[in-house]
Amino acid sequence: MCSSDLPGRPFPGRPCAGPAVIAAGRGTAAAGLTGRVMVTGAGGGVGQGIIKALAGSGLIVVGVDNDPRAAGLQAVPIAQCVPRAGDSGYLSALATLCSREGCAAVFPGLDPELPVLSAAREQFARAGVTVIVSDPEVIRIGDDKLETASFLAKEGFAAPETVPFSADISPSWLPVILKPRWGGSRSARVFLVRTAEELRAAKARIDPANCVVQEYIAGDEYTCGTVYAGGDCYGPIVMRRELRAGDTYRAEVVRHEGIESYVTGVARALRPFGACNFQLRLRGPEPVVFEINPRCSGTTAARALSGFNEPLMMAHYLLRGKIPDYTISEIMVSRYWAEMVVSRSRFADLAAGRRSAGKTRNL
């Protein structure tokens, strides 16, 4: 991510010295932290965003992924491959690595890991490791799109009309969104259906047992983030975003009192632990969340550029007992590719399941 040269207009959440600044993952405002933390899913956008946000903090990041080719494994000083979250050896591999490397906390970077790590929080806590993951009920609400809408409605918040998929969807309902009820990411298997012809085509590509029909709300999309720690909600940051292939490729930090109040209310009702991401659109003047991800976001690095550094705030909270503080600047952020040189020996170590340490060269 790189910030634009538009002038930032800071607005305070809690007093702090100023916004964090990161440039292509090469540093943040000095945080003065020491110790080690683990970031999982180093091959994905969320994991890499966490790695970038923690760069320059003083923390040593231990990155893990199941694929030795994962780019994030080349961007951390210590890396190792581990089994997939669904494999029987996943938790023991993480626990062993945390013990060997002295990791004080684990930042999850992949959605499939969330329920597994949530259920194992106490196991890690007994070993002195804090897994920054919400409780199983919060994970369930976020993963199940029907439950997300139901939770919002029950708590008195605006929610998109959402029902289980039915083969006899009436054309009078159109336009609608067809999307997976459970799982899904980066807009995979999400279909905007405007016509009867598009509906027939979409029906042939969905899994009827894992699909919901959701009200389509036109207009700009917003991605919003909060940090929940110490029994309170911090933030939110509100970003109007543009998507390309399911990922945010351009985002603008904005002030919107209606969205800020709505997201804060939802976060306080949900009570996630650590960072939580909310995706929404405006139905007229009314914000409507259509997706909740109780984890860091794919825009974590962009948020850190604006001064709302969620991983760093949680690191300070857990390691120093410091209540989150931040100053958010209204900037525009664009995403771009960067090249990284990977040594053959480093790749061979990772592919063989060995610990890999050292630095790589990138542009």
Please state whether the peptide bond connecting residue 236 to the residue before it is cis, i.e. omega within 30 degrees of 0: yes
Phi, psi of 224 (to 5 degrees): -130, 145
146 Cβ partners below 8 Å, 6+ apart? Answer: 162, 163, 164, 181, 212
336 Cβ partners below 8 Å, 6+ apart? Answer: 1, 2
Alpha carbon separation from 11 to 18, 316, 326 (Å, rounded): 10, 21, 9
At residue 185, the pLDDT reads 65
The two structure tokens encoding residue 359? 């630095």
| Top-level class of domain 2-142+219-362 | alpha beta
Parallel, antiparallel or unpaired: strands 340-341 and 332-334: unpaired
Tens digit of each residue's pLDDT, the chain (363 residues):
444 433 344 445 543 333 334 433 333 344 679 999 999 999 999 999 999 999 999 999 999 999 999 999 999 999 999 999 999 999 999 999 999 999 999 999 999 999 999 999 999 999 999 999 999 999 999 999 999 999 999 999 999 999 999 878 888 889 999 999 998 766 678 999 999 999 999 999 999 999 999 999 999 999 999 999 999 999 999 999 998 877 888 999 999 999 999 999 999 999 999 999 999 999 999 999 999 999 999 999 999 999 999 999 999 999 999 999 999 999 999 998 888 888 888 889 999 999 998 766 665
At residue 359, the pLDDT reads 67
At residue 247, the pLDDT reads 85
Torsion region of 18: left, alpha or beta (phi above 0 gives left; psi -120 to 50 gives alpha): left
263-283 residue pLDDT tens: 999 999 999 999 999 999 999
Q: What is residue 144's DSSP assignment?
A: B
**Which pTM value belongs to this model?**
0.89
326-342 residue pLDDT tens: 999 999 999 988 888 88
Please state whether the peptide bond connecting residue 171 to the residue before it is cis, i.e. omega within 30 degrees of 0: no
Going across the sheet that includes 212-215, the strands are: 162-164, 212-215, 176-179, 191-193
